[in-house]
Structure 1
């Protein structure tokens, strides 16, 4: 989804339909690997990614981060 935030926004603006975005496995793996190496804060980066997708106009987000994000957002 990250490479297509502009497209998500265009679809949101043009059509009155639900918009879904898929946070692909490569984006997930990139965050996991960088966090494992101590290069970033996994929680902060993940929530920022999901926020960016939502702000672009997605009504729903499919993501491998779902369980972690649900836990972090309920804390």
Structure 2
């Protein structure tokens, strides 16, 4: 993955993207460490979204807690921007209760 990022950089990339983000937090970290000057985008793909939705619907976890922790883990791994299907819900949760 870091080799692919290096090829993208050599071709003049404006940003780097890692997907699926949640499964590749280590890759996010390594890519950011290797190329700190470029914005790093984490793409939280539909399968990761569906996984959290399904387990929350079954009552196996709290959706808000799981989503916000997943997004925070991507940020901690080095993401400058996160693309996610959870965006509207996360924005509402953070607006209504930022802590």
TM-score, normalised to structure 2, is 0.74
Show structure 2 runs of 5+ residues with no match: 1-20
Larger radius of gyration: 2
Runs of 4+ in 1 over 2 A off after TM superposition: none
Which position in structure 1 is the counterpart of 2:82?
Answer: 61
Q: Which has the higher helix share?
A: 1
Larger relative contact order (CA 8 Å, sep ≥ 6): 1
- The SS at the match of 1:3 is helix
Which position in structure 1 is the counterpart of 2:24?
Answer: 4
Instruction: Provide the C-alpha distance between the structure 2 equivalents of 1:2 and 1:68, rounded to a whole number of angstroms.
Output: 18
**Aligned residues between the structures:** 75
